[in-house]
Amino acid sequence: MYKVFVNDKPLFLTDRVEKETDFQMFLLESVDIEQLIKNIFNNKVGKASLYYPDARVILKKLKEKIPAAKAGGGLVRNTKGEVLFIFRNGKWDLPKGGTEKGEDIEDTAVREVEEETGCKGLKITKKLQKTYHIFKRNGQYKLKITHWFEMKTSYEGKLTGQANEGIEQVAWLNPEQIKEALTNSYENIKLLFEKETVAKQGQHL
């Protein structure tokens, strides 16, 4: 199952028919996807599921209905165990951005972190999960698929937010500050930290 966020509300892609409780179910094959997205944006629909019987191609089927844009981003840690956050549009976020033609997704992620924050000496340590959200640009809805990477750096220099991307602040946040920042962040960013917490708990078992 995939979880796609529309205006921070989850739209589940599923191959299972379930009895509706607190969500509405739609058939991916026949749904007017644009109307559904509009209704979610306008709070006419809360949680929703899109059903398609074959889980292996469900994302491909969604991409046939809505154009996809690929992005790369980083969950960056310094030697103190702090994480690099940006503040934009009134929310805390992680640095990320779209791929350029012919660019590997790992290179995109490193370049975008550098451009958006001024942080240098980045090294990818592992691939994290992908996140999915729908946004509107130039009057058209698009599905953004962001490939996330865990990175490390020993950089202690100046951090500079990319002004033309609307980044007001760049900061290293410690675990307590991260908890607070996540109360004013996006659901797909919270997902990355949830997965992290689960992985760490699994290591301690």
pLDDT 10s digits, 91-113: 999 999 999 999 999 999 999 99
Tokens of 75: 């969950």
Query: Where do we find the tokens 């969500």?
Result: 23
Quick: pLDDT tens for 185-201.
999 999 999 865 444 44
For residue 70, give every residue at least 6 positions away whose Cβ sits within 8 Å of its Cβ, in sequence order, or none. 98, 99, 105, 108, 145, 147
Q: What is the mean pLDDT of residues 70-80?
A: 97
Quick: pLDDT tens for 5-60.
998 999 999 998 877 667 789 999 999 999 999 999 999 998 899 999 999 999 99
Query: Where do we find the tokens 């980045």?
Result: 122
In angstroms, rounded to a whole number, what is the distance separating the alpha carbons of residues 144 and 49? 18
Nearest to 68 by CA among 111, 99, 94, 24: 99
Does the pLDDT of residue 202 top 60, yes or no?
A: no
- The answer to whether 74 touches 94, Cβ cutoff 8 Å, is yes
Q: What is the CA radius of gyration of the chain?
A: 18
Does the pLDDT of residue 89 top 90, yes or no?
A: yes
Burial class (CB in 10 A: 0-12, 13-18, 19+), 153: middle
pTM for the whole structure: 0.90
In order of their start, the domains of the chain are 2-54 (no CATH), 68-204 (3.90.79.10)
DSSP structure string for 126-152: EEEEEEEEEEEETTEEEEEEEEEEEEE
Query: Where do we find the tokens 């929703």?
Result: 48
Tokens of 192: 């990355």
